[in-house]
Structure 1
Amino acid sequence: MDPHSLTQQFKDRLCLTAGLPSINPTSSAWQDPPAPIATAQSEVLPSVTDIAIIGSGITGTSVAHTILNNPQASGLRVTILEARNACSGATGRNGGHLISDTCGHFEHLVNALGIDETVKILRFSEANIADLKTLVAQLDDAERKAIELREVNATTTVTDANVLDGVRRSLKMMQDAVDKTSLKYNVVEDQNVLKNKYKYRSGLAVFEQEGAVALWPYRLITILQKRLLDAHKGRFTLETSTPVTSITHNEDASEYEPGYLLHTPRGIVSARKVIHCTNGYLSHLIPSLTGKLYPLRGTMSVQDPGSSFPKLGHLYSWTKMHAGSYDPETRCLTTGLYYAQQNANTGEIFIGGESQEVENLLTSNDSAVAASASRHISSIVPEIYLDADDAKTKKVWSGIMGFTADGLPMAGNLSRLSTGRTGSGEWIAAGFNGHGMDKCWLTGQAVAKMALGEAVPSWFPESFLISEERLKACTVDVAAAGIVGLFTGST
């Protein structure tokens, strides 16, 4: 194989183990201003805990929320360890969407997993969205106002005939298999609707998803963390600026003893069980997963669309899909996927999408935005929207997502072979492939229940469970081929 081929470039990057989260990440608009608990930590790092959760995003918060509210776990001490400020990773850097990606990929999932498992994934995705809607509805007025959750029609303009055909087939296959869904899906091939209603500049059709959500995810998670800290004083702590640099295990410890030693710059924390919720950074502490679960750096921005563009953020969110491409001259990979929501109050558009070099895409370093990525995202709003020719970029930032070789999240108990440690009390909830908001919350619940000794919940997709057999199949070759297919439309 030509060592300079696109696939080889991917393989070279996939073989790199993730580092710790960057000390000076790019500044996300979602985190401005910082939450009151952004730098929360105990005066003295707890030396012992029952369950250590690594990562303070939506998944880690869900794990903590589930354990702390489980009557059978009322005596357990829980500690979240976060390398940076609270919710400073992907959850505090993403597009702020609660959208299911299952319907559009229904045909592919059926071919890979079968109809029953695909329907289960669809139900699971929709249930995540419903659960988070309910959770926000139970908060007080000031908290709900801060989170800015609104139910929207998530629209996607499709510009390629082949992509549109695939969406049509997936929709029909789903409608034939499922009597009723909580979200309403539809394809509209009316240029008047596409342009005058949704303000898309171009496209063959619009794929609609009624009942989806746009929100301020950073505020949601930090508000939930504040509530947990207030409600569970003495048994729950959030330790920010406390990166876990390594983990060792005392092989003489029983399962009821804190046999895990989590090494941090502030000291060592002993824990009975460890739950990894670091997504794209996971291979830093579990090197055997390098190339199987890998980091991918996304680009996000906030832009002023100009005075001619109406305020529609309380009604819609937007996505543009077209075939990806690779330019060997510039070495830039363009993914062909843009996702956007509009702040219903200010009219600003939060939009993300990728066009950058492979080495800038496959990295765990979010301390920079590639110049190519910044130029591209800063020019995209007028290309997508009508009446946005005067758009101005206000801020651009990056964030690290976790992708898996087989395109499915990884959840469950990690074997000793995977961790390289003698204990069997490590768990994983990671690898959400760019669609964490519609999968993380219930994945965190499921893994928390498993870690407490309960059976795998009946509603949890079996295809998400980690196993040695699955990991053996998730090779670097498979991962590289998947990225090529995902981002360039080829195989």
Structure 2
Amino acid sequence: MGIQSPRLPEHRDIVVIGSGVTGCSVAWRLLEKGDPKTTVAVMDAREICSGATGRNGGRIHCTVVQDYDKYSRLLGQAAARETVRFELAHLTAYHDFARELGPEVVGESEMRHLRVISAVFDGQVLEDPKRMLDTFKRDFPDLADSYDIIDTKQTQGAMVYNAGAVWPHRLITKAFQVARSRHGGRLSIETNTPVISVTEDIFGAQYLVKTPRGIISARHVVHCTEGHSAHLLPNLRGIVVPLKGQMTVQCMDGFPRSISAGDCYTFIFGQSFDYAALHPVTGEVWMGGGSSMMVEAAGDFLGEPSDAAESIIAKAHLSGILPTVLAAESPLKASISTKIN
């Protein structure tokens, strides 16, 4: 989805750099809920939603049981509770957003509810989730019935809870289309327009956003570029660091009928995990992860912002997980296509 103004606007109140889920959320909120006179420009070096948002598996999912344990140790219980509630609100927010865009968008973007089965293969590793879950249920009694640990044939055990999924590229591109139709006079979308630098003017009253097509002045600039943020914000270098994950789409022959499109799976190996979901329409398996394999085998996947190369090690790992884990139920053969996330 490539969009450009005939001429780059000279001024906007707010410039948003990045057009993934974060950039879309910021722009939408400013236009729908902000001052009706505010003007916004959304900049992207490539096309709309062409980065990690557009390539990932679309799981609306947070590991709040483990997160609550971590946040409690780092931030204290009060802040941990607040942060976990914020994470959990995303599932409802995504569904509400799709409905706000139009009832047809829920279907087009394949917005749906899922059950997560988070499988652990090491009995010792399972003891930590059990302990964390006991604490979580104690401190979140209203959520206690939504989380449980079950036995499975192929693993030491699995935590089960609710999540969701969406086709993110479809949702975000549709959101920008609706935003243009509602707020075209206040919103300019400038794709294939990389931001080279952001500096203050001589009076310190405006930011100057430099691009190959010219300069936009703005009162505020919002950076929504995730791992690329430090390119324009040098003080973040070494603090915000890109980390690649591998996303695959796998066509499985002989997939067990016991696997439901209403379920998605997380496979936990030590401190790393992979995730898989069965597409409800095509029957393909969307599987991602392999980050620990990439970091161990090729350190340039940590701190490397380019998405031009994929990881053979991660692809090999991901293509072997399901046939190995589910071999007792059905012999699987996989053909695999991949994308960097």
TM-score bin, normalised by smaller chain: over 0.9
The 2-side partners of 1:382 and 1:307 are apart by 10
2:116 — aligned with what? 154
- Alignment of 1:345 with 2:281, yes or no, is yes
Q: In structure 2, which of residues 319, 325, 332 is the aligned counterpart of residue 390 of structure 1?
A: 332
1:465 — aligned with what? none
1:266 — aligned with what? 213
2:238 — aligned with what? 291
Shift of 1:388: 5.6
The 2-side partners of 1:311 and 1:244 are apart by 49
For structure 1, which runs of at least 5 residues remain unmatched after alignment?
1-37, 196-201, 325-335, 400-491
Shift of 1:57: 0.6
Change (3 A) 1:112 1:87: same
Q: In structure 1, which of residues 203, 220, 223 is the aligned counterpart of residue 171 of structure 2?
A: 220
- Root mean square deviation of aligned Cα: 1.8
Shift of 1:152: 1.0
Matched-pair contact (CA < 8 Å) for 1:305–1:388: no
1:24-39 alignment runs, 5 A limit: 38-39=1-2
Question: Residue 121 of structure 1: SS of its match in structure 2?
Answer: helix
1:216-255 alignment runs, 5 A limit: 216-254=167-205
**Alpha-carbon deviations, 1:243-302, whole Å to 9, x = none?**
101111114143xxxx11111111111111000110000110011111111100110100
Matched-pair contact (CA < 8 Å) for 1:68–1:74: yes
Question: Residue 395 of structure 1: SS of its match in structure 2?
Answer: strand
AA at the equivalent of 2:228? Y
**Alpha-carbon deviations, 1:149-175, whole Å to 9, x = none?**
111111100112332111111111111
Matched-pair contact (CA < 8 Å) for 1:98–1:213: yes
AA at the equivalent of 2:95? K
Shift of 1:385: 2.9
Question: Residue 180 of structure 1: SS of its match in structure 2?
Answer: helix
Question: Residue 243 of structure 2: SS of its match in structure 1?
Answer: strand
Change (3 A) 1:172 1:223: same
2:56 — aligned with what? 94
- Alignment of 1:172 with 2:134, yes or no, is yes
AA at the equivalent of 1:44? R
The 2-side partners of 1:59 and 1:312 are apart by 32
TM-score by length of 2: 0.93
- Alignment of 1:280 with 2:208, yes or no, is no
AA at the equivalent of 2:119? T
1:70-469 alignment runs, 5 A limit: 70=33, 72-181=34-143, 184-188=146-150, 190=151, 194-195=152-153, 202-210=154-162, 212-254=163-205, 259-310=206-257, 312-323=259-270, 336-354=272-290, 355-356=293-294, 357-386=298-327, 387=329, 389-399=331-341
AA at the equivalent of 1:397? K
Question: Residue 345 of structure 1: SS of its match in structure 2?
Answer: coil
The 2-side partners of 1:368 and 1:296 are apart by 13
Change (3 A) 1:165 1:311: closer
The 2-side partners of 1:170 and 1:382 are apart by 30
AA at the equivalent of 2:76? G
The 1-side partners of 2:40 and 2:193 are apart by 15
Change (3 A) 1:170 1:137: same
The 1-side partners of 2:104 and 2:67 are apart by 37
Matched-pair contact (CA < 8 Å) for 1:312–1:344: no
**Alpha-carbon deviations, 1:406-465, whole Å to 9, x = none?**
xxxxxxxxxxxxxxxxxxxxxxxxxxxxxxxxxxxxxxxxxxxxxxxxxxxxxxxxxxxx
The 2-side partners of 1:94 and 1:165 are apart by 30
**Alpha-carbon deviations, 1:35-74, whole Å to 9, x = none?**
xxx111212111210000000011111101111012x511
The 2-side partners of 1:83 and 1:150 are apart by 31
The 1-side partners of 2:67 and 2:126 are apart by 12
Matched-pair contact (CA < 8 Å) for 1:244–1:262: yes
1:21-60 alignment runs, 5 A limit: 38-60=1-23
For structure 2, which runs of at least 5 residues remain unmatched after alignment?
none
Change (3 A) 1:138 1:252: closer
TM-score by length of 1: 0.65
Shift of 1:373: 2.3
**Alpha-carbon deviations, 1:322-342, whole Å to 9, x = none?**
115xxxxxxxxxxx3101111
The 1-side partners of 2:27 and 2:7 are apart by 20
Report the number of matched residues: 335
Question: Residue 297 of structure 1: SS of its match in structure 2?
Answer: coil
Q: Which stretch shifts more, 107-116 or 176-185?
A: 176-185
Matched-pair contact (CA < 8 Å) for 2:95–2:106: no
**Alpha-carbon deviations, 1:296-318, whole Å to 9, x = none?**
01101000121343384531011
1:16 — aligned with what? none
Shift of 1:83: 0.8
Question: Residue 103 of structure 1: SS of its match in structure 2?
Answer: helix
Report the identity percentage: 32
Matched-pair contact (CA < 8 Å) for 2:130–2:149: yes
Shift of 1:91: 0.8
The 2-side partners of 1:151 and 1:288 are apart by 40
- Alignment of 1:65 with 2:12, yes or no, is no
Question: Residue 309 of structure 2: SS of its match in structure 1?
Answer: coil
Matched-pair contact (CA < 8 Å) for 2:16–2:40: yes
The 1-side partners of 2:306 and 2:326 are apart by 31
Matched-pair contact (CA < 8 Å) for 1:52–1:274: yes
The 1-side partners of 2:81 and 2:315 are apart by 38
Matched-pair contact (CA < 8 Å) for 1:126–1:183: no
